[in-house]
Amino acid sequence: MTKPVPRTRIQRKNIALISEAALSVFSTHGFRGSTVDQIAREANLSKPNLLYYFPSKEAIHQHLLSMLMDTWLAPLKALQDDGEPLEEILTYMRRKLQMSRDHPRESRLFANEIVQGAPRIMDMLETELKELVDEKAKVIEAWMAAGKLAPSDPYHLIFSIWSLTQHYADFDAQVHAVLGPGHDDPFPEAETYLTTLFTRLLQP
């Protein structure tokens, strides 16, 4: 099997430029509303130069989603079955909230893909994501059975953490419009609220 030729420094730089530009364009306009021309302009590269690295808009989008999935799964992978159960859940929630604060474009890119029916990442959702959620749901279920957490559905608990944390990235404009002046950074208040919410829900 032939080993892939290592990329040059310029190639790595241009791929990073294209990825950053595509993230900005896709997270703003969605997949259908984005074009290769928009991405090339955002990256300050010619269209032929961009197409040297990625043959199509679909290839760029798939590249971003593949990178994003690793980032997206990391907080749930970090949930430890030998940790203190309530603190493990709260730490997971905080990590997800921090991702929404630090990576809002990535969150919106992922949300846009899911809203469209996940045509480009359904295989990953049905395999890698499902296997991880199944594994962690069993851990949470065992904690509940042992009386370490109040009983609830572990899958819907995970879903609720996703929705309540990613909301602050995916609906950023709505959050700021409703909160109004003086709430430029909603995340500290969100963390306090969500910590109280999940503590009351799960405290045995």
For the chain, the domain total comes to 2
Query: How far apart, in Å, do the first and last CA atoms of the chain sit?
Result: 56
109 with 187, same domain? yes
Take residue 188 and report the two structure tokens written for it: 């500290």
| pLDDT at residue 116, rounded to an integer | 87
Take residue 102 and report the two structure tokens written for it: 């630090």
Between CA 19 and CA 26 the distance in angstroms is 10
29 with 72, same domain? no
The label of the residue with tokens 């989603």 reads 65
Torsion of CA 90, 93, 94, 95, to 10 degrees: 120
Give the residue numbers spanning the domain of 73: 62-202
* Sign for the pseudo-dihedral over CA of 134, 117, 24, 161: negative
Integer angstrom CA distances of residue 4 from 7, 12, 65, 137, 141:
9, 14, 22, 39, 44
84 with 34, same domain? no
4 with 104, same domain? no
Residue 77 exposed, middle or buried by CB count within 10 Å (0-12, 13-18, 19+): exposed
SS3 content of the chain, % helix, strand, coil (to 5): 75, 0, 25
| pLDDT at residue 2, rounded to an integer | 45
Domain boundary among 37, 55, 73: 55
103 with 139, same domain? yes
Take residue 150 and report the two structure tokens written for it: 């109040």
| pLDDT at residue 6, rounded to an integer | 67
Full DSSP string of 46-66: -HHHHHHH-SSHHHHHHHHHH
- Global confidence as pTM: 0.86
Q: Provide the CATH number for the domain around residue 22.
A: 1.10.10.60
Per-residue pLDDT of the chain (204 residues; tens, 9 = 90+): 444 556 788 888 999 999 999 999 998 888 889 999 999 999 999 999 999 999 999 999 988 988 888 888 999 999 999 999 999 999 999 999 999 999 998 898 888 889 889 888 899 899 999 999 999 999 999 999 999 999 999 999 999 999 999 999 999 999 999 999 988 899 999 999 999 999 999 999
108 with 169, same domain? yes
Question: Which amino acid, 193?
Answer: Y
Take residue 15 and report the two structure tokens written for it: 């791929």
Q: Provide the CATH number for the domain around residue 153.
A: 1.10.357.10
103 with 175, same domain? yes
**What are the residues whose beta carbons fall under 8 Å from the beta carbon of 204, sequence distance 6 or more?**
147, 148, 149, 150
32 with 95, same domain? no
Between CA 111 and CA 81 the distance in angstroms is 29
